[in-house]
Amino acid sequence: MNKKATKPFGGSRFCEKLFMTLTVFAASAVTAEFTPDRSVMNEAYWKIWTPEVQAKLDADIEKYRKADAEVEIPAPEGTTVSVEQTSHGFFFGAHIFNFNQLGTKARNDRYKALYGKEGALFNSATVAFYWRAFERFPGKPRFEAGPEDSEEFWNTCANPKEQPHWRRPPTDPVIDYLVSRGCRIHGHPLVWGNNTWMTPNWLWDELCPEAEKAALEKATGVKIPRWDATIPAGSPSRKVGRDWEKAWGKIYAKMNGEQIAALVPTFIKAQNDCYERRIRQIGERYGAKVHSWDVVNESATDFHRFGDKAVRGRPFDGSHYGPMPTDYAYKAFQWAGKYLPATAWFNLNDYNMSDAFFLQANDLVAHGARIDVVGSQMHLFNPKESAKIARGEFSKEVHAKTHPASVAERFRRVSKANRPIHLSEITITAPDNSPKGQMIQAIIMRNLYRAWFSVEKMTGITWWNVVDDCGAPGEPSISGLFTRDMQPKTAYFAMDDLVNREWKTSTKVKTSGGKVRFRGFKGGYRLTWTGADGCEHTKTADVK
């Protein structure tokens, strides 16, 4: 870790410095080196994040994130060569769900400039493919932008969060923009059973004939919720989703999968066909553009529910979400393998890192599923918990997420899957948005990013909500790196300092035997020198 002087928090000098830095960013997007203020954290916190812990992280970062390079240079012996890292081999990401939705062109431009290959904060972007908003009406996926997706629409929209396509931009313009910026693209998700955020309103109502619905309700005595056609298709209430899951839970308690399938055979077949069609359409359009996919999301709980078997061969199973294709996690990987290119990485993504996750991964692979990456999540939603962390207090759940010893143990377990790890969703909430609260968020983030970056099999870290008050309902409003009007918070400067300074190599070396040798962070490099002809020469190289 770079040694940096610390300054006490509080007083006019800190506030003046923060204001000046924000002003500079707003004017020119030039940022200053981040200086952590240790005084906002109790000494009990620093007794946990000790110099010894930091030294171990530094050693592992040096070991796993750097590599030795040897590059041929056609220059005289002893020529000085400038070595500048231009891109990361590691993926620093965020979702891009608020594309053109922030209310002004200036905010949107600042937001979009965060994503790119060289010099941007994020070299990877998670694109929303949530089925509910992606295909609000059957057979009409929202690939292309309509008038309601334009920047002009959102700039004049009085209540953006009430719109059914809030945080769900059409995919064509987002992916085209990311391709133009050389940004890595991650699709999220292809298959997920969640009724509130994923399953289209029309799936049950349109695909299950009324006679079959009536037969199921008569046989079980359970009234299944219907979607009110007057409710916007993209924004059902969370209560309706829970009511749906409760109703199906009652049905499962009365009937087994074979009995349910016998009553709704048309729905069973149409549901499978629709899932396969969805993946085929997405693969045909984006197969060459999207680098990785969350093929199935948050399915470990169902795996355990189904008796720790990924392939069961029954016509229908009782997902805790509601009606899902039997063996849906296995089928998701089969469909992805059929319709997506071999170059795309297939992720198994979950918040549930219990034994069920690893048993499911092993069982899927044993049945022929191609799992390239395991995705893990960490959400610190509660502002009060961040305040406790600053005091050196860790509840049992938060200890498991954020204590350095628990973080190390967690990823020792995850690494046993013997796959690269994508930390796919990260939320770290500030206690409040005061200067002190922002500094607390920044320090928690900085230490955790260093711990995650030091994990041998870690391949990428994706921050979730970049902008305050832009999360899903129920998510904290102050977990962003920016305020709602796109002013950078202290955590932004802390992250930028790691990504674009501490973890980027810049050095000068001399040629020896027609080569230069150096050690640097893995990624792309530009080497520059003055040749014997007096002209400047450049060469690019990859350090792997």
Q: Which residues of 400-423 are buried (b: 16+ CB within 10 A; e: fewer)?
A: ebbbbebbbebbeebbebebbbbb
* Least confident window among 4-8, 143-147, 281-285: 4-8
Burial of 96 (0-12, 13-18, 19+ CB in 10 A): buried
Which token pair is 23? Answer: 């002003």
Q: Answer whether residue 219 shows pLDDT above 70.
A: yes
Q: Which of 84, 183, 81, 4 is nearest to 500 (CA)?
A: 84
User: How confident is the model at residue 87, as a pLDDT?
Assistant: 96
* Least confident window among 246-255, 338-347, 364-373: 246-255
Other beta carbons less than 10 A from residue 78's beta carbon: 8
Q: Answer whether residue 328 shows pLDDT above 80.
A: yes
User: Helix (H, G, I), strand (E, B), or coil: what is residue 41?
Assistant: coil
Q: Answer whether residue 325 shows pLDDT above 60.
A: yes
Say if residues 424 and 452 touch (Cβ distance below 8 Å): no
Over residues 75-93, mean pLDDT: 97
Q: Answer whether residue 229 shows pLDDT above 70.
A: no
528: left (phi over 0), alpha (psi -120 to 50) or beta: beta
Q: Answer whether residue 370 shows pLDDT above 50.
A: yes
* Least confident window among 1-10, 26-35, 364-373: 1-10
Instruction: List all residues 6 or more positions away from 33 whose beta carbon is below 8 Å from its beta carbon.
Output: 4, 497, 501
Confidence of residue 246 (pLDDT cuts 50, 70, 90): confident
Which token pair is 28? Answer: 């020119």
User: How confident is the model at residue 234, as a pLDDT?
Assistant: 42
Element (H, E) at 374: strand 373-380
Q: At what angle do helices 265-286 and 328-339 cross, to 10 degrees?
A: 40
Confidence of residue 274 (pLDDT cuts 50, 70, 90): very high
Distance of alpha carbon 433 from alpha carbon 467, whole angstroms: 13
Confidence of residue 230 (pLDDT cuts 50, 70, 90): low
User: How confident is the model at residue 235, as a pLDDT?
Assistant: 45
Q: Answer whether residue 429 shows pLDDT above 80.
A: yes
Q: How many residues does the chain have?
A: 544
Query: Percent of the chain having pLDDT more than 70?
Result: 91
**Which of residues 186 and 5 earns the better pLDDT score?**
186
Q: Answer whether residue 352 shows pLDDT above 70.
A: yes
Q: Answer whether residue 17 shows pLDDT above 50.
A: no
User: How confident is the model at residue 239, as a pLDDT?
Assistant: 59
User: How confident is the model at residue 196, as a pLDDT?
Assistant: 83
Q: CA geometry: angle at 306 spanning 300 and 312, to 5°?
A: 110
Q: Answer whether residue 38 shows pLDDT above 90.
A: yes
User: How confident is the model at residue 243, as a pLDDT?
Assistant: 80
Q: Answer whether residue 534 shows pLDDT above 60.
A: yes
Say if residues 114 and 205 touch (Cβ distance below 8 Å): no
User: How confident is the model at residue 231, as a pLDDT?
Assistant: 55
User: Helix (H, G, I), strand (E, B), or coil: what is residue 541?
Assistant: strand
SS3 for 48-77 is: CCCHHHHHHHHHHHHHHHEEEEEEECCCCC
Q: Which of 100, 197, 98 is nearest to 147 (CA)?
A: 100
Average pLDDT over the chain reads 91
Q: Answer whether residue 237 shows pLDDT above 60.
A: no
Element (H, E) at 416: none
User: How confident is the model at residue 395, as a pLDDT?
Assistant: 87
Distance of alpha carbon 192 from alpha carbon 130, whole angstroms: 8
Please spell the DSSP secondary structure of 427-471, one letter per residue.
Answer: EE--S-SSHHHHHHHHHHHHHHHHHHHT-TTEEEEEES--BTT-S
Distance of alpha carbon 332 from alpha carbon 282, whole angstroms: 13
Confidence of residue 28 (pLDDT cuts 50, 70, 90): very low
Confidence of residue 475 (pLDDT cuts 50, 70, 90): confident
* pTM summary value: 0.91
Confidence of residue 307 (pLDDT cuts 50, 70, 90): confident
Distance of alpha carbon 368 from alpha carbon 265, whole angstroms: 27
User: How confident is the model at residue 180, as a pLDDT?
Assistant: 97
Q: What are phi and psi of 234, to 5 degrees?
A: -90, -5
Domains, in order of start, for the chain: 37-507 (3.20.20.80)
The residue to which tokens 């206690």 are assigned: 431
